[in-house]
Amino acid sequence: MKRFFQLQSVLAACCIFCLVLLACRIKLSGSIAYIFMAWNLFLACVPMTFAILLSYFTPKSNALCSGLFVLWLLFFPNATYMISDLLHLTHLRSALIPGWYDAIMLFFYALTGLFLGLVSLNYVHVYLKSVFSVKWSWIIVSCSILLSGFGVYLGRFLRWNSWDVIRHPLGLFQDIVDRITHPAAHFQTYFVTIIFTAILFFAYLLFELSKEREAS
CA 148, CA 14: separation in Å to the nearest integer? 22
Q: Is residue 72 classed as helix, strand or coil in its secondary structure? A: helix
Residue 92 has pLDDT above 90, yes or no: no
Closest by CA to 150, choosing from 195, 120, 86, is 195
CA 130, CA 214: separation in Å to the nearest integer? 21
Q: Is residue 5 classed as helix, strand or coil in its secondary structure? A: helix
Residue 210 has pLDDT above 90, yes or no: no
Residue 157 has pLDDT above 90, yes or no: yes
Q: What is the mean pLDDT of residues 161-177?
A: 92
154 CB-contact burial (10 Å; exposed 0-12 / middle 13-18 / buried 19+)? buried
Q: What is the mean pLDDT of residues 46-56?
A: 95
List C-alpha distances in Å: 48 to 54, 100, 181, 206. 10, 30, 33, 20
Q: How many CB atoms lie within 10 A of CB 34?
A: 22
Q: What's the confidence (pLDDT) of residue 75? A: 97
Residue 91 has pLDDT above 90, yes or no: no
Count the domains in the chain.
1
The total number of residues written for the chain in this structure: 216
Range of the domain at 134: 2-215
Percent with pLDDT over 70 in the chain: 98
Q: What's the confidence (pLDDT) of residue 216? A: 55
CA 115, CA 207: separation in Å to the nearest integer? 10
Whole-model pTM? 0.93
Closest by CA to 123, choosing from 89, 173, 73, 158, is 73
Residue 196 has pLDDT above 70, yes or no: yes
CA 41, CA 43: separation in Å to the nearest integer? 5
Per-residue pLDDT tens digits for 1-13 = 888 999 999 999 9
CB distance 168 to 159 below 8 Å: no
- Residue 137 pLDDT level (bands cut at 50, 70, 90): very high
203 CB-contact burial (10 Å; exposed 0-12 / middle 13-18 / buried 19+)? middle
Per-residue pLDDT tens digits for 4-37 = 999 999 999 999 999 999 999 999 999 999 999 9
Closest by CA to 101, choosing from 17, 20, 21, is 21
Q: Is residue 18 classed as helix, strand or coil in its secondary structure? A: helix
